[in-house]
Amino acid sequence: MAETRHDDMNRMKARVDVRHPALVMLGLYLGAFLGMLSETSMNIALPSLMEAFGVSAGTAQWLVVGYMLVIGVVLPFVGLLLKWFRARTLLIVALGAFLVGSLMSGFAPTFALLLAGRMVQGVSTGLVLPMMFSVLLEVFPKNKIGAAMGLTTLIIMFAPAVGPTLSGFFIGVLSWRWIFHFFAIVAAVALLCAIAFMVNPYELTRPRIDAFSCATSVVGFGGLVLGVSLVSEFGLSPAVVAILVVGVVAVALYGRRQLRMDVPVINLRAFAIPQFTTGAIVVMMNFGITLCAMYLMPQEIQDGMGIPAAMAGLVMLPGGVVNAVVSLLSGRLYDVIGPKILVRSGLVVSVVGLGLLMAAGTDSSVPYIIAAHVVLMIGVPLTMSPAQSTALAALPPQLATDGSTILNTMQQVWGAIATAVATVLLGAGQSSAVRAGAGHAQAFVTGSRFGFAFAVALAVVGFVAALRITSLSGLTRAEKVPDVEVRDLKAGKAAKPAVARERRA
């Protein structure tokens, strides 16, 4: 019996023994919060920036597109960088870059310098996001991973939800420059936390750098994000189609190369583990729902309902608060009841919230919009944390960093695609309504409904994928999902658990 308890305790230990894992994660949490906050904070600020610098809507949109483009390019390299450089060093460099980028944008006298600062911020976010997930799996005990992932989901989902609120406040009370001044202050605090508490949880193996993988990664992921972002402005023009084709071909070549390498940049054989693949699909769909809603809602509130920017931000605040609470609860519930019920019910609630938003009109009351947003912000985080935990907990230690990088890359690339599709549908709906004689406000509401309908489709796809999620709880999975045999991974075979050692009473 004593031996059994000892074995259980060993299985519950963290992979890397640290006294205060929450402090180790503090710099990563703050950095990831800034990165995700920055992803949606520009949507509500674009009209002010267009006026301040005298640029068109298409040019101003590059503050969003360029940021996501850089993230999509940097993300696939994080796993390789962690094998070459210490995690603490990478985090300090990343947070320092975000601080510099924020100062560049906050004091920018020209649009070009503002855009350059956003690009530097994108480099930082691309480094920090996958590091947060992979380091979490190393420093927290297995029976605490669900709760820790809940806090991570709080950051990933809460930050985009409150981005418009903070931006609206700064624009209404101070100026758009204070958005970046705020970023700089928080980045400085995060940098100090990283210097004080961050550890190095990985061994440096310094594998050979494959130039072909690097080139196809940059061209592939960069081309996809760039191509889908340009569709909303130029449509499927020959140039845009060419960029998309080049991106798809490059990604295919990149994937083929990784599967043939002994030490790949990203080990795509993580997809041989069914629960990881299922969780990744659900995470991707759920993140697409979030970005679609965060893109459409601030604009619909302003252009469709005539509410000013500062008030529009306040309208979205209650949903952001609810998002935070549910994110924390979902992580703890995952440790108790597992992901199956949480993920499916979360997607159903999201569909209800999206349906309420689709039913909104130019004369809808502010309380109605707040209520619809709150319902959506219950469903989205209820799904996200359990889905992420399911995907990452299914991986053996040697695939943890690769799995984190894959998840974050898929989120950002799919987020860009989902936002672009929502933009195209918004424009199509507006044009259709204008041809039917609708005014500007009604046309914008009609276009928004097209975009929200696309988000509903994403939720349906996510629900179908979630039907394959098992009912094992976080604690049970930590005990029952042992390391995948390395030889199976190298051979590209489907992952099978190693035979559990028989326990004696």
280-337 tens-digit pLDDT: 899 889 988 988 888 888 878 877 777 776 777 788 888 878 887 887 787 777 767 7
Residues 22-37, mean pLDDT to the nearest whole number: 85
Q: Is 502 exposed, middle or buried (0-12, 13-18, 19+ CB in 10 A)?
A: exposed
Percent residues over pLDDT 90 in the chain: 14
pLDDT of 469 = 79
Q: Is the pLDDT of residue 481 over 60?
A: no
Q: Is the pLDDT of residue 502 over 60?
A: no
Q: Is the pLDDT of residue 457 over 90?
A: yes
Asked if 283 and 388 touch (Cβ cutoff 8 Å), the reply is yes
Residues 480-494, mean pLDDT to the nearest whole number: 43
Q: How confident is the model at residue 104 (pLDDT cuts 50, 70, 90)?
A: very high
State phi, psi for 497 to the nearest 5 degrees: -65, 145
pLDDT of 489 = 46
Distance CA 291, CA 300 (A): 14
pLDDT of 143 = 66
Q: How confident is the model at residue 183 (pLDDT cuts 50, 70, 90)?
A: very high
Q: Is the pLDDT of residue 262 over 90?
A: no
Residue 55 gets the label, from left (phi > 0), alpha (psi -120 to 50) or beta, of beta
Residue found by looking up tokens 């406040």 in the block: 169
Q: How confident is the model at residue 17 (pLDDT cuts 50, 70, 90)?
A: low
pLDDT tens string 346-370: 999 999 999 998 888 778 788 888 9
pLDDT tens string 323-340: 878 877 877 777 677 777
Q: Is the pLDDT of residue 14 over 80?
A: no
- 2-198+261-491 CATH choice from 1.20.1250.20, 2.60.290.11, 3.40.50.720, 3.40.50.300: 1.20.1250.20
Q: How confident is the model at residue 498 (pLDDT cuts 50, 70, 90)?
A: very low
Distance CA 446, CA 434 (A): 10
pLDDT of 476 = 39
pLDDT of 184 = 94
pLDDT of 58 = 63
138-157 exposure pattern, b = at least 16 Cβ within 10 A, e = fewer? bbbbbbbbbbbbbbbbbbbb
Residue 146 structure tokens: 């669900």
Q: Is the pLDDT of residue 57 over 70?
A: no
Residues 99-110, mean pLDDT to the nearest whole number: 92
Asked if 78 and 127 touch (Cβ cutoff 8 Å), the reply is yes
HSE at residue 48, side-chain half, CA atoms within 13 A, is 20
Residues 252-279, mean pLDDT to the nearest whole number: 84
**Helix, strand or coil for residue 497?**
strand
